[in-house]
Amino acid sequence: QNTLLASTGTTIFTVMSALATEHQAINLGQGFPDVDGPDDVVQAAADALWDGRNQYPPLSGVPELRQAVATANARFYGLAVDPATEVVVTSGATEAITACLMAVLNPGDECVLVEPLYDTYLPVVRMLGAIPRLVRLTPPKWEFPRAEFAAAFGPKTKAVLLNSPGNPTGKIFTAAELAFIADVVQRHDCYAVCDEVYEHLTFDGWNHIPLMTLPGMRERCMRIGSAGKTFSLTGWKVGYVTADKSLAATVAKAHQLLTFTTPPNLQRAVAIGLAKDDAYFAGLSSALAAKRDRLAEGLARLGFGVLEARGSYFITADFRPLGFAGDDVDFCRALTVEAKVTAIPVSAFYAGPDAPAHFARFAFCKKEAVLDEALARIEAWI
């Protein structure tokens, strides 16, 4: 059997969700909202099934969704995108990440990755025979180490994979950081895979800037979005890649090999979602910001060292002030089994040695009453 897969463990999200179910814990681990996205979008998906949207759609996505992705690129970021040639719809951002990496990496190429990182990145880079070069953000502010980042690039570097807004950090790369990254990428003649699934989940006036919008980056970036995050419908697995025509054609080839197409009724519904008015997008982030504040304030009151989260639906918290004896894996297990609240150990987002082992990640995309109950359980436990 394949040695890389044999050495890949079950994803931490599945492991912790199973533990949550076993112990009837409130699951603030795996990131999924406990309220489904907009009724009209869900209704549109149901209607499309009765409207004959049940056979293979076009390989790159149904025309309505490709058009909607192109329109959203113009509306939110001023990007001019040709829906016919520059958008590829995938079965979730997960597939999109793999397809984009497949599109640019050859065996022996190097790919720069930033820790903490999402758990599919590294195994996929390795499966492609490419060599990962890891750079680490520095907590508690998740600072971007510019010199180390630049030093990670060399003659064999073909791509960088960047996640902003970040999971689990909630970090949003600033315009200055992005300008630095764009310069390094261009000097080394590389591509950038941009995981921007949390593009619309930003808080406190922090706006997401796609790396693709920077001068010289339009042809180098593959920008990935996810309907799961933007419409609180994580089970749908509809993702979309925006890239220049030549890159998009290669991403489409990868998509052809991975899944070939994505359910047509869901695509049509997501197209309706992307056309929603500004109030929808503003409401999504303001509702989440209130939940973030509720959980962050509650955890801080209980003694956690809560880190700032500017985007995504996660906060990370340092549990050392509570005096717990053990690492983050022990802590999240004890929290689940004893307090009956589940969180994710942040060390799971690291591959290199000496990962920080004193942070837990909490998902706050839950009803207020659920967050309150989780806090009450933790308070009773500590």
Nearer to ligand PMP, 102 or 197 (CB): 197
Question: Site for ligand PMP (CB under 6 A): how many residues?
Answer: 13
Q: Which of residues 214-233 bind ligand PMP (CB under 6 A)?
A: 226, 228
Query: In the Cβ-directed half-sphere of 6, how many Cα atoms lie within 13 Å?
Result: 3
Contact partner, 30, from ligand GLN, ligand PMP, none, Cβ < 5-8 Å per class: ligand GLN
Give the nearest distance from C-beta 137 to ligand GLN in angstroms. Answer: 16
Task: Out of 13, 206, 324, 381, point to the residue binding ligand GLN (CB under 6 A).
Answer: 13
Task: Out of 27, 67, 157, 167, point to the residue binding ligand PMP (CB under 6 A).
Answer: 167
Task: Out of 220, 237, 255, 361, point to the residue binding ligand PMP (CB under 6 A).
Answer: 237
Task: Out of 48, 77, 109, 118, point to the residue binding ligand PMP (CB under 6 A).
Answer: 118
Q: Which stretch binds ligand PMP (CB under 6 A): 4-12, 89-97, 108-116, 343-351?
A: 89-97
Task: Out of 64, 86, 109, 195, point to the residue binding ligand PMP (CB under 6 A).
Answer: 195
> CB atoms < 10 A from the CB of 53, how many?
18
Q: Which of residues 17-46 bind ligand GLN (CB under 6 A)?
A: 30-31
Task: Out of 9, 11, 154, 352, point to the residue binding ligand GLN (CB under 6 A).
Answer: 11
* 367-373 long-range Cβ contacts below 8 angstroms, 24+ apart: 367/34, 367/35, 368/291, 368/294, 370/26, 370/34, 371/28, 371/291, 371/294, 371/295, 371/298, 372/294, 372/298, 373/26
Instruction: Report the sign of the C-alpha dihedral through residues 120, 123, 124, 125, in that order.
Output: positive
Q: Which of residues 147-176 bind ligand GLN (CB under 6 A)?
A: 167
Give the nearest distance from C-beta 302 to ligand PMP in angstroms. Answer: 26
DSSP category for residue 356: -
Contact partner, 92, from ligand PMP, ligand GLN, none, Cβ < 5-8 Å per class: ligand PMP
Q: State yes or no: residue 94 binds ligand PMP (CB under 6 A).
A: yes
| Buried/exposed code over 127-166 (b: 16+ C-beta within 10 A; e: otherwise) | bbebbbbbbbbebeebebeeeebbebbeeebbbbbbbbbb
Nearer to ligand PMP, 83 or 92 (CB): 92
Give the nearest distance from C-beta 197 to ligand PMP in angstroms. Answer: 5
Among residues 162, 267, 153, the alpha carbon closest in space to that of 217 is found at 162
Give the nearest distance from C-beta 179 to ligand PMP in angstroms. Answer: 22
Give the nearest distance from C-beta 382 to ligand PMP in angstroms. Answer: 28
Is the distance from CB of 19 to CB of 10 less than 8 angstroms?
no
| Buried/exposed code over 240-277 (b: 16+ C-beta within 10 A; e: otherwise) | bbbbbeebbebbbebbeeebebbbbbbbbbbbbbbebe
Give the nearest distance from C-beta 229 to ligand PMP in angstroms. Answer: 7
Residues 304, 328: Cα–Cα separation, whole Å: 13
Q: What is the DSSP string of 283-351?
A: HHHHHHHHHHHHHHHHHHHTT-EEPP--BSSEEEEE-GGGT--S-HHHHHHHIIIII-EE-EEGGGG--
Nearer to ligand PMP, 200 or 237 (CB): 237
Give the nearest distance from C-beta 344 to ligand GLN in angstroms. Answer: 7
Length of the chain: 382
Q: Which residues bind ligand GLN (CB under 6 A)?
A: 11, 13, 30-31, 167
Q: Which residues bind ligand PMP (CB under 6 A)?
A: 92-94, 118, 163, 167, 195, 197, 226, 228, 234, 237, 239
